[in-house]
Structure 1
Amino acid sequence: MQLQFSVYVLPVIASAILSAAVAAVAWRRRPTSGATALALLMGFVTLWSVGYALRLLSVDLESKLFWAKFRYFGILPVPATWLILAIQYTGYGKRWLRSWAYAALVLEPAVMLVLVWTNEVHHLFWAQIDLASYGPLTLLSTVHGPAFWAH
């Protein structure tokens, strides 16, 4: 895999490091209300940031597309995890978060993840994917499909 360096990747790498550190601290404090959800949320943000950094650093279409897909392991669970964190932190976790609620919150990200990784078959998530050059940088240019907008 050939790599290109850009100053734009530095804040993304800093975000990955910071979110991983917050995840580690929160994980050590799991007995605290909302700490586990915060650790998971920051773990997902770390995956998102690492995937985006590697997408920026990659040059060829296959590598950029792989890392674009990889980062959705972090992107898709963020809204549900954030909601769980808010509910737990405010003290409503035992009342509102039953097993069926967790299952419902996992369903949409799981379906979207399947659509992301099988996009070449149906083009529902990204209708078009190309490389675009902006000065010395090669970036992934996408046209979003209906599944992207549904998410």
Structure 2
Amino acid sequence: MTAEELKAAYELGRRDFSRSHLAQTNFHKALLTDINLSYAYLSRANLTRANLERAFLNGAVLYAANLHYAKLCKASLIKVDLEKANLDNAILNHANLSGANLKNANLERAHLVWANLRSANLTDANLEGADLSSAKFCQTIMPDGSIRNDDC
């Protein structure tokens, strides 16, 4: 499926694109609120400035994807693979990232207010300037390898 095909189906009211293969697809500035991309393959996809508020991305593969300035408020990202993804300035307020793989991810200046980071792996992630106010930590692997259990 191409980005154009997905956007056309989305505009016609379709929301379930789970298990879609969308590697290296360009969704720059796409409006995809409430979309279901669970278990989709989005490796190296360009989601710069995309609006994915309330999206379902559970188990999706976004390895090395570009989510620069993406809006992911209230998104469900349970067990998502965001290894080496660029999430700088992304808005992830109230997002559920429990069990997420964020190894080597760039979360510089990302907004993670009230985000659920339980069991997330942030090994070697860049959190410089990130807003983690009221984020939930339990068995969370921090960038330095330490385990944070504030909310267990």
Which TM-score bucket, shorter chain as reference? under 0.3
TM-score by length of 1: 0.22
Whichever structure has more helix as a proportion of its residues is: 1
The structure carrying a bigger strand percent of its residues is 1
Q: TM-score, normalised by structure 2?
A: 0.21
Bigger-Rg structure (1/2): 1
